[in-house]
Chain A
């Protein structure tokens, strides 16, 4: 099978890779590039475990072809913390016990991050609406929603300083 060369920006670094047109971004991230933080729960857009930020918007990376990312800017869970310094959302997920098995967590953090970058004061109803494309089977969502709410002031503080 002929493979295409694709150049893209992943977590702030220029990279290029070879892929078949039928390979999804999720597949290439995980199997070719070794970025396994984005998870596969359904492979058809229904669970959000594979959520990444592409050109500023959240997408299901299982529903994006890797060839489509030519020239795109992609952020995955691996690019959220800076070394040992966690993003306020990551810290909040830990403190609020917002993960049990944790398979949904990268997707939730990517979605929530995109939300809080747009709407730093999103309320519970808005958070629930924004996160409806991310399934979690373990937590019942309660602590996830609380973690996002509790990250809001931290995030604003972090921005100001």
Chain B
């Protein structure tokens, strides 16, 4: 569905086969764990069995003597790290904390915290040796829930931590609350007093994992000349390089990170865990070392997203949302840095609401340090807002989408951070939802209900570099540095083909290592098709300029008299002068050498994305189980470069949201032990748990991109939690405010059990 008039494209909007497709369907594509180097040995990591403990000592002597063991390392083998904050990967991180997360220094802060590592001839031998490492722990009381951690008498993860507030204030008492920020405008209390209806609720969500199917892995070769090569599965090779450089105190230029194919990331593969350990093991042994995690290690030792507590009070007057007061507390995990800020900044974006007051707390707990997960911070916050809005509409007896339409944000509306929206597609998305066949169809039958919810994600810009090398036969090698997780080689090649009006098939995109292309930030924040796409466009324009100059030289005319049109070069002064792209490419050697288009940029103008979802459910009143009957996701994507991958991103995000809403959670016992660190018990949706996911793609071009691209990947996970909660409320009359809405929780609530 096209909502806004858009230009006619020849490549954009088609569905070609992705360049890396054949390798991936034949099993030939090389993922991180597939790396095999001559002389390679295997590492394994010893992890803390305690959620919180002081390490008194580590005795590695018996392990070192175990037959087949080549090296054992602990935190002492990492260089001392500075207590300073650096922009690494998607967010700012404290280098000392990053280093202590790689291998624990004085304390372990969560069960699964890496403590030591062994390299041996086989992974089995390495594992045998782990059992021989003796760690003397002084076990400390653990705190695993965000509200418990905020109490004054809570066990402290770090006695030196003080709460930092906006404006630079620092608390005098130590606390697990790392930071407190506030966003405020208007007068909420006055608006509440005037309101027609007010809803006040508390919500909780549990820690959940990205659940990428490929576990983390890293293979490092510390070469005799002091250079380090690391093959790894990452969303950002340059981010890995930067983190390695900080942790190992090794110059950037002496580290080469080779990004292998990646088996999913969703934000979780922007942080290093294994890479520095593999590097120090390799340095110690002089052999390439491969480290891979097993699934339990992925759950317990990598970054999931925060469990949250959110309190919200929302008011409506005259059929519009008028005021929201909210408190958000997010678990950061073992070290500060949750996504609570993004939660606070996105939770009201679908609305033009004048009065708000949002307090955001970043809280450390004895659980793994959280990492980004698809629209980090936004889903839990939207769960609260969109559930509260649903209740307001029920109380008012207004259609929930009409209410959202009446209160909708549009160009010029200010976000909670004060920045005004550029052209956005929120209203168009709502209109498309209202007019969708799904929303217009009735929902019938007992125990069934329908829910809707909206969501927003900023999308990121950041740094990208690409080069487009034109070959003498007219084909093009596109060298880029953005990890291809879900078809971005295709979406970038398509943008270059469009820019140059050449066939898509003539372009061969390659994701290069850090030695072979300029800096690229992570594939994350829905930025790649947008920002690297912008770089591709610029590189394409560079090629066009160079080709015009070459043609001018050949024809001995002024370059201004040459135009590039439809893949051809034409002289405006002499209509007999015309060359196709490949004809001219053939002449490059005779006209001044190779033609290489380049672009390196810091992309601005990322366009925010809105989504509205509609879901029908049936709840079995005797078992509490929810079945998703029908799901439609409506989303403004700006311009769908490759519509099939756009739909795929939406469908994948929705299904992750369904899992989060219904079954996924980190289950802990009181001691801080995760009880369900396997795919059997951490219940992600299977084929049988979801229907086909219908998508309605709205295209309101982003003015900040030549082809109108907005990020697509993240916003689809924002609305599902609330949409499903609203549908369950519609089906059962019971409002669920705690996730997951598992059969147990639903049954207990419906039947008043326990």
Contacts of B263 in A (CB 8 A): 39, 41, 101-104
Contacts of A34 in B (CB 8 A): 36
Cβ proximity bits A18-57 to B, threshold 8 Å, 1 near / 0 not: 0010110000001100111111111110110100000000
Q: Is the CB of A90 within 8 A of B686?
A: no
Q: Is the CB of B644 within 8 A of A97?
A: yes
Check: A15 CB closer than 8 A to any chain B CB: no
Check: A136 CB closer than 8 A to any chain B CB: yes
- Contacts A97-B15, A141-B690 hold; do A36 and B34 have CB atoms under 8 A apart? yes
Contacts of A40 in B (CB 8 A): 33, 215, 292
B contacts with A: majority SS? loop
Docked Cα-Cα span, A144 to B642, in Å, equals: 17
Q: Is the CB of A140 within 8 A of B655?
A: yes
Check: B211 CB closer than 8 A to any chain A CB: yes
- Contacts A81-B26, A100-B645, A142-B692 hold; do A94 and B21 have CB atoms under 8 A apart? yes
Contacts of A99 in B (CB 8 A): 21, 24-25
Check: B27 CB closer than 8 A to any chain A CB: yes
Check: B679 CB closer than 8 A to any chain A CB: yes
The interface centre, meaning the residue of A38, A46, A133 with most chain B CB atoms within 10 A of its CB, is: A46
- Contacts A42-B295, A101-B212 hold; do A137 and B22 have CB atoms under 8 A apart? no
Docked Cα-Cα span, A109 to B26, in Å, equals: 9
Docked Cα-Cα span, A30 to B123, in Å, equals: 13
Check: A73 CB closer than 8 A to any chain B CB: no
Contacts of B34 in A (CB 8 A): 30, 36
- Contacts A36-B30, A39-B263 hold; do A97 and B487 have CB atoms under 8 A apart? yes
Contacts of B678 in A (CB 8 A): 42, 44, 46
Check: A61 CB closer than 8 A to any chain B CB: no
Contacts of B160 in A (CB 8 A): none
In this complex, how many residues of chain B approach chain A with their Cβ under 8 Å: the count is 59
Check: A95 CB closer than 8 A to any chain B CB: yes
Docked Cα-Cα span, A20 to B264, in Å, equals: 31
Docked Cα-Cα span, A22 to B659, in Å, equals: 35
Which residues of A56-107 have CB atoms within 8 Å of chain B's CB atoms?
76-78, 80-81, 86, 90, 93-97, 99-106
Docked Cα-Cα span, A137 to B36, in Å, equals: 26
Docked Cα-Cα span, A137 to B267, in Å, equals: 13
Q: Is the CB of A101 within 8 A of B680?
A: no
Q: Is the CB of A138 within 8 A of B264?
A: yes
Contacts of B25 in A (CB 8 A): 81, 86, 90, 93-94, 99, 102, 105-106, 109
- Contacts A39-B214, A94-B21, A140-B655 hold; do A134 and B27 have CB atoms under 8 A apart? no
Q: Is the CB of B486 within 8 A of A101?
A: yes
Docked Cα-Cα span, A141 to B678, in Å, equals: 21
Contacts of A36 in B (CB 8 A): 27, 30-31, 33-34, 36
Contacts of B173 in A (CB 8 A): none
Contacts of B265 in A (CB 8 A): 101
Q: Is the CB of A103 within 8 A of B30?
A: no
Which residues of A99-134 have CB atoms within 8 Å of chain B's CB atoms?
99-106, 109, 127-129, 131-134
Nearest CB to that of B655 among chain A residues? A140
Check: B28 CB closer than 8 A to any chain A CB: yes
Nearest CB to that of B31 among chain A residues? A103
Docked Cα-Cα span, A42 to B292, in Å, equals: 11
Q: Is the CB of A140 within 8 A of B651?
A: yes
Check: A135 CB closer than 8 A to any chain B CB: yes
Check: A143 CB closer than 8 A to any chain B CB: yes
Q: Is the CB of A137 within 8 A of B212?
A: yes
Q: Is the CB of A20 within 8 A of B124?
A: yes
Check: B110 CB closer than 8 A to any chain A CB: no
Docked Cα-Cα span, A38 to B18, in Å, equals: 21
Check: A139 CB closer than 8 A to any chain B CB: yes
Nearest CB to that of A44 among chain B residues? B678
List the interface of chain B (C-beta within 8 A of A): 15, 17-18, 20-22, 24-31, 33-34, 36, 124, 210-215, 261-266, 292, 294-295, 485-487, 642, 644-645, 647-649, 651-656, 678-680, 684-688, 690, 692-693
4 interchain residue pairs of minimum CB distance: A37-B27, A103-B263, A77-B27, A140-B651
Besides A43-B294, A93-B25, A102-B20, 8 more A-B contacts (Cβ < 8 Å) are A37-B26, A41-B295, A44-B295, A94-B17, A132-B686, A137-B211, A137-B652, A142-B692
Task: Name 17 interchain pairs, CB-CB below 8 A, sorted by A.
Answer: A22-B124, A35-B27, A36-B33, A37-B28, A41-B679, A42-B295, A43-B294, A47-B213, A76-B27, A78-B28, A97-B645, A99-B24, A128-B688, A137-B684, A139-B655, A140-B654, A140-B693
List the interface of chain A (C-beta within 8 A of B): 20, 22-23, 30-31, 34-44, 46-47, 49, 76-78, 80-81, 86, 90, 93-97, 99-106, 109, 127-129, 131-146
